[in-house]
């Protein structure tokens, strides 16, 4: 638990473990708990990894960010954070949703230092009207459990998840809603006016081990747009999971864990042979 001062923000982060750094970047509106909730269980059985969970500007406990007004500046803040906390080191990145978009910006700027990348339901196309997304559809419901939720809770739960049961609710509430409730809505709406980078990304192939975990029922960012950039990730696993929406890591926890562990295995092997 610490703060890192960069030009346009004081970034809150949690720094766990020792070894090769892996930077975790959450999506738009939640905070670092979105990433720590799904990633920390993976490292209970893996050593040699230093996990760095950040709160992006306008989210979580990060402070002094009001001068930021675009995704370009969000990216600059993250790049400055990287240089301050793991200066001139090789590292790995994992990003969820908007965090995956920021991760692609990092790759465009600092590809040589990055040993691997994981993308969880990544935002590929910034403007919603240009995305190819699925129609939201509830796939499974525990009718008895949802009777315990308030009208507001149920409405939110139904809007953002496709599996409605106790396990999904408890994790969704703890890892996602908890962060959304403290996000700076006014600031987040301001940045959405300049949500896309002003420069092109995916301009060269990323030849390190990567993984794209995509929800077959993701009505937020979809899965098809990610498949369109598959040729830019020649060492990438692209997995489209059924029974998974935009919160794939919660709705398909076993497959999530298996595929992330296999990706980390590939990174470790890649390092040993280079």
In tens, the pLDDT along 202-236 reads 999 999 999 999 999 999 999 999 999 999 999 99
Instruction: Identify the pLDDT of residue 1.
Output: 73
Q: Cα(201)–Cα(19) distance, rounded to whole angstroms?
A: 29
Instruction: Identify the pLDDT of residue 2.
Output: 94
Q: Has residue 246 got a pLDDT over 60?
A: yes
Residue 3 CA, chain-centre distance (Å), reads: 20
Instruction: Identify the pLDDT of residue 271.
Output: 78
The mean pLDDT value for 19-43 works out to: 98
In tens, the pLDDT along 37-84 reads 999 999 999 999 999 999 999 999 999 999 999 999 999 999 999 999
Q: Has residue 273 got a pLDDT over 70?
A: no
Share of the chain above pLDDT 70, in %: 99
Beta strands in 180-227 (DSSP E): 210-215
Instruction: Identify the pLDDT of residue 270.
Output: 85
pLDDT, the chain, mean: 97
In tens, the pLDDT along 121-168 reads 999 999 999 999 999 999 999 999 999 999 999 999 999 999 999 999
CB distance 153 to 129 below 8 Å: no
Residues in the chain: 274
Instruction: Identify the pLDDT of residue 248.
Output: 98
Instruction: Identify the pLDDT of residue 272.
Output: 75
Share of the chain above pLDDT 90, in %: 97
Secondary structure of residue 14 in the 3-state scheme:
strand
CB distance 103 to 94 below 8 Å: yes
Q: What is the pTM of this model?
A: 0.97
Q: Cα(71)–Cα(163) distance, rounded to whole angstroms?
A: 31
Here the tokens at position 229 are 């950039």
Instruction: Identify the pLDDT of residue 48.
Output: 96
* Residue (of 10, 5, 4, 20) closest to 93 by Cα position: 20
Q: In the structure, what pLDDT confidence band is assigned to residue 171 with cuts at 50, 70 and 90?
A: very high
Q: Has residue 274 got a pLDDT over 60?
A: no
Here the tokens at position 26 are 């959450």
The mean pLDDT value for 191-203 works out to: 97
* Residue (of 89, 20, 91, 87) closest to 49 by Cα position: 20
Q: Cα(171)–Cα(241) distance, rounded to whole angstroms?
A: 19
């Amino acid at each position: 638990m610490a703060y890192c001062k960069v030009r346009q923000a004081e970034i809150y982060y949690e720094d766990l473990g020792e070894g090769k750094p892996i930077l975790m970047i959450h999506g738009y509106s939640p905070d670092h708990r979105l990433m720590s909730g799904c990633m920390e269980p993976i490292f209970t059985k893996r050593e040699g990894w230093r996990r760095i969970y950040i709160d992006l500007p306008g989210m979580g406990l990060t402070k002094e960010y009001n001068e930021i007004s675009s995704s370009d500046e969000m990216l600059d803040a993250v790049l400055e954070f990287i240089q301050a906390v793991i200066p001139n080191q090789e590292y790995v990145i994992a990003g969820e949703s908007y965090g995956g978009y920021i991760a692609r910006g990092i790759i465009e700027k600092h590809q040589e230092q990055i040993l691997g990348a994981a993308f969880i339901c990544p935002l590929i196309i910034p403007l919603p009207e240009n995305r190819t997304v699925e129609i939201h559809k509830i796939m499974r419901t525990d009718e008895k459990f949802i009777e315990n939720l308030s009208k507001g809770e149920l409405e939110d739960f139904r809007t953002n998840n496709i599996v409605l049961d106790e396990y999904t609710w408890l994790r969704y509430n703890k890892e996602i809603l908890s962060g959304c409730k403290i996000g700076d809505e006014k600031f987040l709406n301001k940045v959405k006016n300049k949500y896309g980078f002003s420069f092109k990304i995916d301009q060269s192939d990323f030849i390190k081990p990567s993984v794209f975990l995509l929800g077959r029922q993701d009505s937020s960012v979809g899965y098809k747009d990610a498949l369109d950039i598959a040729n830019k990730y020649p060492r990438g696993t692209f997995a489209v999971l059924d029974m998974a929406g935009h919160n794939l890591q919660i709705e398909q926890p076993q497959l999530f864990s298996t595929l992330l562990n296999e990706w980390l295995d590939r990174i470790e092997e890649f390092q040993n042979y280079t």
